[in-house]
Amino acid sequence: MRVALFITCLADTLFPEVGKATVTLLERLGHQVDFPAEQACCGQMHVNTGYQPEAMPMIRRYVETFEPHEVIVAPSGSCVGSIAHQHAMVARRQGDEELARRADAVAARTYELSQLLTDVLGVEDVGAHYPHRVAYHPTCHSLRLLRVGDRPLRLLRSVSGIELVPLPDAETCCGFGGTFAVKNSDTSTAMLADKMRNVMATGAEVCTAGDSSCLMHIGGGLSRLRTGIKTVHLAEILASTA
């Protein structure tokens, strides 16, 4: 299958290894990855901060870039959540019904990585090997906007060598929330502290999730406290082999 990769501006700029892992994984499974060079950002930060007119050029670019592609994947529940739940809504609110209709159509073909693997490509065992103790944090938007459910866990359970440990209060937000982490940094930090306490209680070496943004937040805290626990994107674990 040909799959177009929406890398997301965050992974593109700060976490290119997540994109490389996604490419490695999909090619290992026998699929062809396209990277449409005209892509940029989904606009979620602008929408969630109240700047909808400013988000419109990003929404239009996403729709125009990916309209020719049949299947689109992004290694982020949050960006796919925004594409699925916000693009058409914002376009309508800004009075562009035609863009809204096109956005709906493209959003219907845009998948978060674990959705693509399990629902579209029909695999759970991707042939990965990852001999580490891992705690999985289900990110809010993958869980409650996209309803990925246990798809990431099913993929992780099929990884050889992995020791998957349950994370207490796993479904509680880590406190990132985009600009929330800056505007309400004290509350965000209090939420992060509880998330880190739970991650540390598992004795995990690695905390994983399907979103680079949440991992940047959790990882930023774990690094600041020199816990020695690292954050690794789900795609990187699934791309690892013996």
Q: In residues, how long is the chain?
A: 242
170 binds other proteins (CB under 8 A): no
Q: CA–CA separation, 101 vs 80, rounded Å?
A: 17
201 binds other proteins (CB under 8 A): no
Q: CA–CA separation, 73 vs 119, rounded Å?
A: 12
187 binds other proteins (CB under 8 A): yes
Q: In this complex, which beta carbon is closest to other proteins, that of residue 173 or of residue 204?
A: 173
Q: CA–CA separation, 190 vs 183, rounded Å?
A: 14
55 binds other proteins (CB under 8 A): yes
**Angle made by CA atoms 213, 217, 222, in degrees to the nearest 5:** 140
Single out the residue of 54, 97, 125, 150 in contact with other proteins (rule: CB under 8 A).
54
Q: CA–CA separation, 142 vs 232, rounded Å?
A: 17
In eight-state DSSP terms, residue 129 is B
| In the complex, least distance from residue 68 CB atom to other proteins, rounded to whole angstroms | 16
Give the interface segment with other proteins, choosing from 53-61, 107-115, 126-134, 199-207 (CB under 8 A).
53-61
CB atoms within 10 A of CB 182: 10
Q: Where along the sequence are the contacts to other proteins (CB under 8 A)?
A: 7, 9, 11-17, 19-20, 23, 35, 37-41, 43, 45-52, 54-55, 57-58, 60-61, 85-86, 89, 93, 140-141, 143-145, 171-173, 175-192, 216-217, 219-221, 223-224
